Chains A and B, each alone.
Chain A
Amino acid sequence: MKWIACLLLLAPSSGYPQIRFDEITQQAGIHFQLNNGAHGQFHQLELMPGGVAVFDFDNDGCLDIYFTNGAALPSLRKTGPEFYNRLYKNNCNLTFTDVTEKAGVAGDGYSMAVATADYDNDGYTDIFVAGANRNILYRNRGNGTFEDVTQKAGLAVTHPKYGKMWATSAGWLDYNNDGRLDLFISNYVVWNPRTEPHCGAADQALYCHPDNYQGLPNQLFRNNGDGTFTDVSTRSGIGNYIGKGMGVAFADVNGDGYTDIFVANDSVRSFLFENQRDGTFKEAALEYCVALREDGSAIAGMGVDVRDINNDGLPDVFVTGMINDTFLLFRNLGKGRLFADETMHSRLAVVTRQLTGWSAGVYDFDNDGWKDLFSANSHFPQLGRYMGRNSELPNSVFRNLGNGRFEDVSPMAGTDFQRAAMHHGAAFGDFDNDGKVDVVVSVLNGPAKLFRNVSAGGNHWLGVRLVGSRNNRDGIGAQVRVMLPDGTTLHNHATTSVGYASSSESVVHFGLGKSDLVQEIEVRWPGGSTRKVYGMKPDTIITIREGDK
């Protein structure tokens, strides 16, 4: 019913502007190629890389891009520039300059994922790179260069049972509302090139199904506020659960003022770590009914975004999966700690069944007031042989019709959008500050793609940049409510943890439809304090500082 009530207010479904993307990678000067190091040995690792981050590392108001990259196998060494992670600085005119070497962020080892945030609250966004057996924390010095502080920060830990682990995603959150960003790492499976199982026939090797590998626990590191972290994986309960972790997203799903953690697992149930508000978590995905598909099957969960999709103020869950899994959409019912599986009713079951989606995001691409869905798609290599078609796929964008249903508008999203490739990572942000959310996508063994959102329609928008003082500087975890003069209320929250292995801009984006005035903005900071701003003109990024009157 809530879907319908909101529909009456925004009513965008007829004559809507078409969501369209132009690919501008070449003219933007981005030449990154993700190299997975494959050479016919079918190491599981080769299937998984591709994390991308969108963030403003030099505070010039223009979003930059960081790409993670693979390494030689089985050595896991970046033996040459072809394996470097890459940082592209936005020149603020939709062109970019590769500043990797100067910034000192080429990485080390086989990188998978990236998570960006200002963990030391110094006003500069830092980079955490997650990978196979090697994670790196790069502290932003504020002068265009970064320092590897992994060891110093206490993040170069080995698990007492599993040793060095294979991380596929990571994210920043403030789980204890102490104003400092903590680090969550999603780990995949036990992997060792010497003991890796072999699958397929003798004359035709194949990548093994994840069922052939043992899963790993995830990790949580508490920020001590002095540049160091404490491994609280066991103490918090996070490390007590074995999964095959992929994407991770954060939101306060039960409205108790504390951030909860959703982890998409590959071929086993998803995790929802419910924050117990005492430094511990309870894994409660089954209780919340978000662990499995309605028919009891675990999907090959990949990317995830947890956001309010139906404008009822409650974060919902969107998860991508593999062919025939169908992507999942769970609607937060807001009472009884329960979600409803909306996969079929939303029409996503039908339109995603033939897809394999990696990274994902829930953003209002046409600024009509309803958040849409994006997935970076490609099947696993070799599946093409069985499917009778190539493993490359175009990406997908599903338009939110405002009535609980989604329409696959990908075929109309522009010529560039139709090009199939081995899309993996994806991160979201407004690169040209035109109010339309753009997307950068990594491509396995191919050139990355920068999609500029060129949707027409003239809808209004608002970006909310949060600056915490008692809370973390990025305002991560803060919930933002926007009220329009017609009574429409829009909800979103600040997070950079979006999709698979990727990290998106922290500015909180709102599409406002035709409304040319924002009546009220309310920010609820982690910990419960609120701040309200009244009577704003749209089509701008407003900065809201914690504590300002």
Chain B
Amino acid sequence: MLERLILLALLQTADLTTADQLFNTGRFAEAEAQYRRLVQKMPNEPALLWRLGACDYQLGNFAAAEKEFRKALVAEPNLPPALVGLGTSLVALGRSDAALPFLERGVKLAPSNRMARRALGHAYVEQQEFLKGEPILRRLVEEDPRDGESWFYLGTLLFNRHYDDAALSALEESLKINPANVEAQIDRASALAQLGRNQQADAVFQRLARDPKLQGSPEFLLAYAQFLFQNERYDDALIKVEAAIKAAPKAAKLHFWKARILFHLDKTDLAIPEAEQAVALAPELPNARNLLLRMYRAQGRDREAAKQADWLLHHENKVALGQGR
């Protein structure tokens, strides 16, 4: 222990100070190189390892960041910045389920750390843990109404839970602070549509559609298609969903929506293969199966319909018996 303290003290020299300055001024690549040199001298020093991880995170190298934060935690299991860093890296890597225990521990150890709480709130959003995420994010925006990121996460959380009125307010707060947040704009447009404020929604969707970056965004195109579908503009919806499929051909959800639109266009023959593809891509989801059931029944293909009905029955029975969805 004494040896470690002495070594650390020796590192409190120009090298570490410089690296910290580079980091604090956003020069992450240079900071990363500097920290890496220091880590070579003290490979197990948690204070250096989490800084290195933070640089990797800022550079978008989330897998590398995860590794460094984990190393830091081996050396010091309850180091809050490493816990939070690991958690945020995992969220960025799409593994928010794995992130939660680290973030929860980080917030417990450093309850006043807003970044940690925000990251935890974000992870709850990703995991659709509404009841856990809502109070954290609500508190963050109450403490600092200028925290646009927390407003956005709160808006997303509420939107995913379909509290569209409240979601719209939160998203609009977020956009006041960060008007360029495209995800918030898409969710806002969808919330307006859900609330039946179609003219406003249409205007926002049309504006967003002119953004070249979004013209290949499956998320945006699907949201737009859903809005058009809701307003029975099936031909327009089909164009959007087909563009989305071009961008993400393996997304089951998109094939389901294409099938649904085609079904409403009375093109059941074309809708069936799309729905079948959606089932093939995501056999665990009920959406396309129910649509297929309906279409097979309408076409008198009762044996194929029965197969889908059996699957849906089994799926629903689990829920009725209290075994969850």
| Contact surface of A with B, Cβ cutoff 8 Å | 189-190, 199-201, 204, 206, 211-215, 242-244, 265, 267-269, 286-287, 289, 291-298, 323-324, 336, 338, 341, 344-345, 349-351, 353-354, 383, 386-389
Query: Using a CB-CB cutoff of 8 Å, which residues 261-308 of chain B contact chain A?
Result: 264, 285-291, 293-294, 297-298, 300, 305
Asked if B312 and A211 make an inter-chain contact with CB atoms under 8 angstroms apart, the answer reads no
Query: Using a CB-CB cutoff of 8 Å, which residues 305-325 of chain B contact chain A?
Result: 305, 309, 312-313, 316-317, 319-322, 324-325
| Contact surface of B with A, Cβ cutoff 8 Å | 130-132, 134-135, 158, 161-166, 169, 194-196, 230, 232, 256, 260, 264, 285-291, 293-294, 297-298, 300, 305, 309, 312-313, 316-317, 319-322, 324-325
Asked if B309 and A287 make an inter-chain contact with CB atoms under 8 angstroms apart, the answer reads yes
Instruction: Give B168's nearest chain A residue, CB to CB.
Output: A388
The distance in angstroms between the C-alpha atoms of A323 and B325, with both chains bound, is 19
Residues of B within 8 A of A289 (CB): 293-294, 297
The distance in angstroms between the C-alpha atoms of A244 and B324, with both chains bound, is 13
A268-B319, A354-B196 given; name 7 further pairs at CB < 8 Å.
Answer: A199-B131, A204-B135, A242-B320, A269-B312, A323-B163, A345-B232, A354-B164
The distance in angstroms between the C-alpha atoms of A349 and B300, with both chains bound, is 28
* Least Cβ–Cβ distance between A3 and chain B, in angstroms: 15
* Least Cβ–Cβ distance between B306 and chain A, in angstroms: 8
* Least Cβ–Cβ distance between A303 and chain B, in angstroms: 20
Residues of B within 8 A of A201 (CB): 131-132, 135
Asked if B316 and A269 make an inter-chain contact with CB atoms under 8 angstroms apart, the answer reads yes
Q: A206-B131, A336-B300, A338-B298 are in contact. Are A298 and B316 (CB under 8 A)?
A: yes
Asked if B298 and A387 make an inter-chain contact with CB atoms under 8 angstroms apart, the answer reads no
Asked if A292 and B131 make an inter-chain contact with CB atoms under 8 angstroms apart, the answer reads no
* Least Cβ–Cβ distance between A384 and chain B, in angstroms: 10
Instruction: Give B131's nearest chain A residue, CB to CB.
Output: A200
Q: A344-B232, A354-B164 are in contact. Are A215 and B322 (CB under 8 A)?
A: yes
* Least Cβ–Cβ distance between B295 and chain A, in angstroms: 10
* Least Cβ–Cβ distance between A73 and chain B, in angstroms: 22
Asked if A211 and B285 make an inter-chain contact with CB atoms under 8 angstroms apart, the answer reads no
Asked if B163 and A387 make an inter-chain contact with CB atoms under 8 angstroms apart, the answer reads yes
Closest 5 CB pairs of A and B: A324-B162, A296-B290, A388-B166, A214-B322, A296-B286
Main secondary structure of the interface of A (DSSP, over half): loop
Select A296's contact among B134, B300, B312, B319, beta carbons within 8 Å. B312
Instruction: Give B158's nearest chain A residue, CB to CB.
Output: A386
Asked if B319 and A286 make an inter-chain contact with CB atoms under 8 angstroms apart, the answer reads no
Residues of A within 8 A of B293 (CB): 286, 289
Residues of A within 8 A of B260 (CB): 294-295
The distance in angstroms between the C-alpha atoms of A230 and B101, with both chains bound, is 55
Select A286's contact among B169, B256, B287, B309, beta carbons within 8 Å. B309
* Least Cβ–Cβ distance between A521 and chain B, in angstroms: 35
Asked if A353 and B194 make an inter-chain contact with CB atoms under 8 angstroms apart, the answer reads yes
Residues of B within 8 A of A213 (CB): 322
Q: Interface centre among B132, B305, B312, by most A CB within 10 Å?
A: B312
Q: A201-B135, A294-B294, A387-B165 are in contact. Are A286 and B322 (CB under 8 A)?
A: no
Asked if A386 and B134 make an inter-chain contact with CB atoms under 8 angstroms apart, the answer reads yes
Select B317's contact among A242, A349, A354, beta carbons within 8 Å. A242
Residues of B within 8 A of A287 (CB): 297, 305, 309
24 A–B contacts, CB within 8 A, in A order: A201-B135, A206-B131, A213-B322, A214-B322, A242-B317, A243-B320, A244-B320, A265-B320, A268-B316, A289-B294, A291-B312, A292-B316, A295-B256, A295-B260, A296-B290, A298-B316, A338-B298, A344-B264, A350-B196, A353-B194, A354-B164, A383-B163, A388-B163, A388-B165
* Least Cβ–Cβ distance between A321 and chain B, in angstroms: 12
Asked if B325 and A211 make an inter-chain contact with CB atoms under 8 angstroms apart, the answer reads yes
Residues of B within 8 A of A383 (CB): 163
Select A292's contact among B256, B285, B297, B312, beta carbons within 8 Å. B312
Residues of A within 8 A of B300 (CB): 336
